Chains A and B, each alone.
Chain A
Amino acid sequence: MSKSVNCAEAIDNMNRKVAWGLLFVGITYFMQAAEKLLEPGALNSALDIASGVGVVLTMGVTLWGIFPVMKLKAGGKFLSKSEPESFMTDAMHTSFKNSWMVTMITTTVALAFQKYIDDWNIETSFYLIVLFGFMTLTASLSFFYLTRNDDVEDLEE
């Protein structure tokens, strides 16, 4: 007899791996931003390789998380629900909200110092990369904080 698949556990696993994917993509983008600030050289080449590794890790971990859920959907075993019925899904939604709020505050502060930032003469793509990296990094860190293990909750009795 085949082992039954718990869809809720599959979604939790997907959320965890998507959070790792967000962490890797955030770090990768910050490395790419650092590359733009540095003169071509040994460190720049190392960052280039590290960025490539980051892209592979991001794709790998995200696909690893999504594939089991896609498989369940394809097999007709996955029942979608109209509301989040999982602690992990709720934590992911909260993390996106937290990320948006932190990015909004950071952008507001940056706008206040716009005059000084203009003097740096850095290309626009640098700011877009930093902003995207910042959003994904804060979303993943918020998720890991919200879903941290608690010794009390693991007590069975």
Chain B
Amino acid sequence: MNSELDNRIRVFRAEHRMSQADLAEAIGVSRKTISTIEVGRFVPSTIIALKIAQYFKVPLEEVFSLTSASDN
């Protein structure tokens, strides 16, 4: 079964009134990295995923979740 990584980064950014560049700067990656993670073009490393969750002070599962391809 194929699984895809879904994320709610855009929602958290909106709640914190942050741009992609602000979040990228905060966790030490480039803006392109954040934008491609948001749309699912780039699967982040565990380190980036944990950094994002830590930055928003939420558990990892609240930011990232696995969905099966058939759910979409």
Binding site for B on A (CB under 8 A): 6-9, 11-12, 81, 83-88, 90, 147, 150, 152-157
B residues near A156, Cβ cutoff 8 Å: 13, 19-20
Residues on B with beta carbons closer than 8 Å to the beta carbon of A8: 24, 28-30, 33
Q: Are A153 and B38 in contact (CB under 8 A)?
A: yes
Q: Give A157's nearest chain B residue, CB to CB.
A: B14
Give A123 to B49 CA distance when docked, in angstroms. 53
Consensus secondary structure, chain B interface: helix
Across the interface, which residues of B come within 8 angstroms of A90, CB to CB? 42
Complex-state Cα separation, A12 to B33, whole angstroms: 9
Are A88 and B30 within 8 A (Cβ)?
yes
Considering the complex, which residues of chain B in the window 30-72 have a beta carbon less than 8 Å from any beta carbon of chain A?
Answer: 30-33, 35-39, 41-42, 44-45, 47-48
Cα distance A90–B43 in the bound complex, in angstroms: 10
Q: Is the CB of B41 within 8 A of A85?
A: no
Residue of B25, B28, B30, B39 with most chain A CB atoms under a 10 A cut-off? B30
Would you give 19 A-B contacts (Cβ < 8 Å), ordered by A? A8-B33, A9-B24, A12-B30, A83-B45, A84-B45, A85-B33, A85-B45, A86-B30, A87-B37, A87-B41, A88-B30, A88-B32, A88-B33, A90-B42, A152-B39, A153-B39, A154-B35, A157-B10, A157-B14
Q: CA separation between A55 and B38, bound complex, in Å?
A: 39
